[in-house]
A and B are shown apart, each in its own frame.
Chain A
Amino acid sequence: MQDPIRIVLAKIGFDGHDRGLKVVARLLRDAGFEVIYLGLRQTTDAVVAVAEQEDADAIGLSIHNGGHLTLAPRMVAAVAERELGVPVIVGGIVPDRDIQALLDAGVAAVLGPGTSGADVVAVVRSTVAPE
């Protein structure tokens, strides 16, 4: 039997909207993932340190107040700096027209408003283990 996928979930900086991230945490947990929930007010360095220590397969970042174009690339850079090779998935309020910019910046996948639970699970799974 395969080890469960381990994902670190966090919010960076000031943004306190944690409803979505908590729902995603439970969804993934119920789908058999191992969720390391860091919650609010994290720094990119703290998230990377936990991802490394916990040998995580992915990092899920939730962003709800318009800071995604700044915060997500910073997270990607922090992961690259430690050479973790762990994909960064961004969820939250991301308008369609910003998705390409995030992908170009190295974000592995974007889960926007209205994404179904099944899609969240499928996207995380396929991001960690393509095809």
Chain B
Amino acid sequence: MDNRAAGNRGAGATLPIVPAIVTDSLTRTFGLVTALSQLTVEMPTGVVGLVGANGAGKSTLIKILLGLLPPTSGRAQILGMDCRTDGLQIRQLVGYMPESDCLPPDVSATEFVVHLARMSGLPSAVARERTADTLRHVGLYEERYRPIGGYSTGMKQRVKLAQALVHDPKLVLLDEPTNGLDPAGRDEMLGLIQRIGSEFSISVVVTSHLLGELERIADHIVVIEGGVLQRSTSTADATQLSGVVLVEVTDQAAEIIARLRAAGAQVADAGGSQSFTVELSDETVLDAVQRAVADLGVGLIRMQRRRHHLTEFFQPEQEAADAQQ
């Protein structure tokens, strides 16, 4: 039907320098409650994970980004459009999947998504065609003709995702899409979100209160707590810059620890008899480990990067790189 996809979107995807979302001292208060406080952050295109506990300000940020809630002060931009003034244009090119239940039980998924596609401004024929396509992509087949009331939680989440994608947005805001799903459903949903970012070339901002699940799929992680930015890093940066290295040797671990401490490194016992962790303040620490091991002539079993703040997360390439060192 159209073949702009590979050309335009592909080119867009290779220019991650242009941030999808920019906020500048964004503040929003509700009476005495401060939902967002001086939030200044840039989110790139691709899959961005927005992490925070319940009440951290994630949903408030999403409503501001959709142009539905004016910020108390500060500025927010999405896809280069101002959230304070360009609400209508933003909502034409952005999809939103709410956290809460939002599906009427007495209509079928097809009818409901067709209706919402028209509500996004698509002509009727296009709305029907894209609804069939989109429901297939999120994994709803024959059941899409049955009333939504009889769907499982997993199927309902898929319908909610489909309505956010049906109008082919440039960016989707997914609010807690894995809420209420069992572990298998969670994995499927996360896989689907990853595909939206890679195969569909649609930028994604996905929120969760679980850091672990977003680390697996996000290119970039933003953590907010109590409306305040805690950190904003690409997941690749996180593995490079922060964390500690787990070192395991064949013999004389105590001697190596002593030498490293003498060189000023922060070393902690890792529990095993011949292993320890060393804080990776800079690259010279790695050299120091290497030198100590070489001098003593013991075998180095492994050096593995661990990270401080992000929970267990090992990218295969990163692990391979570590193993080579």
> Are the chains A and B members of one assembly?
no
Listed in ascending order, the chain B residues whose CB lies under 8 Å from chain A are none
